[in-house]
Structure 1
């Protein structure tokens, strides 16, 4: 059932899917599973050519407002710059058009005047492309816009975030390869690596949904509005949108990738460990050390080749050096926290 409340808004954002659903008579192999039936209305809106990640953003509302204020101010500055440029150049263009219309050839053409006009045209051409930023921010051309999203849902304590894979997915979503079934295919390995990286605790910790935008993942603003409307209509609940990756399988339809994504107790333990880690460093007056550790692990895990055991070992050595430079006894600190088990980038047990 589609959301009952705000049904008109949902219909305005989406068209009904006409693709016939395949019967699900069997269960996909691990680590995949079938999504809960509550997500069916959302699944019908997804493109089979992309991979999606659902998650919840529980960041404090004041923090979300501060993060959102940055692109708002940036785009206002761009609009102001373009408006000033138009007010400055419009009379020049009108004068130039009038001269052409009158076939006025009395104005001398010098190398300097030609270069000045060429430079002016080049600057205006650049401003034309710069205008796409505020246009996408305000109205969007593909999958909604941040302004559309915020004006529809406002700022909430918990918000549904929907990420959509970018161009890299053409190497993973191959019509002749079902990555659910072909575990050893390069496409499947690429899928596993990118989704692991995007859903790791370090990649998502202390980030609002807006900060999850990067070169590999877009935010689908329309789907985020639709998911919120499902919750408002009580057709779904927030836990239905916990961290999970969705990919379409020709054999099973939409499936959830479970490995290192939903994580269950493992993910919860990792989050608790990170919070304990940060709190302890804050008490010691070394909170900056926590953020440098986050940057270190994010950088190392995003490098080509994945976050292998050898790279994790290197990361732990670099973290040890960070602690030493700050005058913190590395081994004594972790002994106090009960060991490094569960800490991303340091759990080598």
Structure 2
């Protein structure tokens, strides 16, 4: 009887653990949207070091090497100024802080103040000046010192390994906001993340900036992954075309890495592969928005149509209405009369991207 009583808690613990295992298995079981496919096995060595909690964006930076060099030198100059100022503060601190510390412990020091013989004005100005210097050095150490450190370990080390090339692979990763997303299922259920953070980051107008200038509140550049990608291309294990504009997400243990290869908007913009009438309407659509100074709306429209059409079941009437409502809202936010604009270009019916 005693033996059975001791075994009971173990049985109970096993029973409570089983639903959790089923729940985990259930969360990893989901229908992958048609936009995403299994990442090719050829990318395995590139994908292995990546974090499953992050979303990764790939694209090829075709800016001239001279332009990339200018951007690099500009940021290099900024970091040199920061380092020089920090070294200056360290130099002055070697003569200031020991004296202040000696005065605090009661020793004889040039920083010691005779409060009984000093005016309130002198005391207050001295305290204010020293407080200012303490705060300045604190912010230099906590906010500005990490900048040159990250610069040396990131862009500088990457440039030493990759150099300045006419076609460079850029790898970006999502910041902390992606950690709260449910692995895999968010690409189907959380359209806000796709439409507000992922898609805007891969728009052609956004990619007109060179890699280093794409760092923002939502995305950072993975310099290690860039070096790794170029090494794989250099060793001919992969081709640079394998890193065309794409979105990488991890779908959990059963799905692994999933990839959305974003269509080339340049092909869409030219209407290549479409009937001449449809191509003419796309060109007219783009040209009219360009004349209005709203060219970004054209590329946003392309992304919306492409994204909606890649869902399971295709570009259904319901998704067409949803896309048109979103496009209308975008136009209105930009101050463009949607109905009149659509009427002027004769509509886009029959145009499939």
TM-score, normalisation: structure 2: 0.66
Q: Which of the residues 254, 257, 274 maps onto 2:257?
A: 254
Question: For the structure 1 residues 226 and 115, does the alpha-carbon distance in structure 2 shift closer, same or farther, using more than 3 Å as the test?
Answer: same
Q: Which sits farther off after the overlay, 91-100 or 240-249?
A: 91-100
Matched, 1:134 2:152: no
Question: For the structure 1 residues 319 and 148, does the alpha-carbon distance in structure 2 shift closer, same or farther, using more than 3 Å as the test?
Answer: farther
Q: Which of the residues 162, 177, 194 maps onto 1:153?
A: 162
Larger radius of gyration: 2
2:138 counterpart residue number: 125
1:6-21 to 2 correspondences below 5 Å = none
Question: 2-side partners of 1:38 and 1:75: how far apart?
Answer: 38
2:36 and 2:258 in contact (8 A); partners too: yes
Describe the SS at the equivalent of 1:88: helix
Measure how far apart 1:319 and its partner are.
10
2:204 and 2:299 in contact (8 A); partners too: no
Question: For the structure 1 residues 248 and 121, does the alpha-carbon distance in structure 2 shift closer, same or farther, using more than 3 Å as the test?
Answer: same
Question: 2-side partners of 1:70 and 1:319: how far apart?
Answer: 41
Question: 2-side partners of 1:111 and 1:29: how far apart?
Answer: 66
1:77-226 to 2 correspondences below 5 Å = 77-100=81-104, 103-104=107-108, 107-109=113-115, 110-128=123-141, 129-139=143-153, 145-172=154-181, 174=182, 178-180=185-187, 183=188, 185-186=189-190, 188-204=191-207, 206-226=208-228
Question: 1-side partners of 2:97 and 2:300: how far apart?
Answer: 49
Cα shift readout 1:9-39 (whole Å, capped 9, x = no counterpart): xxxxxxxxxxxxxxxxx99441211122221
Describe the SS at the equivalent of 1:164: strand
Cα shift readout 1:126-148 (whole Å, capped 9, x = no counterpart): 11121111111112xxxxx1111
Question: 1-side partners of 2:300 and 2:83: how far apart?
Answer: 34
Question: 1-side partners of 2:215 and 2:231: how far apart?
Answer: 22
1:66 counterpart residue number: 70
Question: 1-side partners of 2:293 and 2:45: how far apart?
Answer: 41
1:42 and 1:223 in contact (8 A); partners too: yes
2:326 counterpart residue number: 308
Question: For the structure 1 residues 100 and 59, does the alpha-carbon distance in structure 2 shift closer, same or farther, using more than 3 Å as the test?
Answer: same
Measure how far apart 1:202 and its partner are.
1.8
Measure how far apart 1:64 and its partner are.
0.8
2:63 and 2:166 in contact (8 A); partners too: yes
Measure how far apart 1:97 and its partner are.
3.3
Question: For the structure 1 residues 95 and 317, does the alpha-carbon distance in structure 2 shift closer, same or farther, using more than 3 Å as the test?
Answer: closer
1:6 counterpart residue number: none
2:185 and 2:251 in contact (8 A); partners too: yes
Matched, 1:49 2:53: yes
Measure how far apart 1:308 and its partner are.
2.5
What are the ranges of 5 or more consecutive residues in structure 1 without an aligned counterpart?
1-25, 140-144, 282-288, 321-329, 342-346
2:267 counterpart residue number: 268
TM-score, normalisation: structure 1: 0.67
Question: 1-side partners of 2:347 and 2:64: how far apart?
Answer: 28
Measure how far apart 1:96 and its partner are.
2.2
Measure how far apart 1:124 and its partner are.
1.1
State the number of aligned residues.
274
Cα shift readout 1:128-179 (whole Å, capped 9, x = no counterpart): 121111111112xxxxx1111001111011111000001221332x25x623
1:27 and 1:34 in contact (8 A); partners too: no
2:331 and 2:337 in contact (8 A); partners too: no
Question: For the structure 1 residues 213 and 60, does the alpha-carbon distance in structure 2 shift closer, same or farther, using more than 3 Å as the test?
Answer: same
Q: CA RMSD in A?
A: 3.9
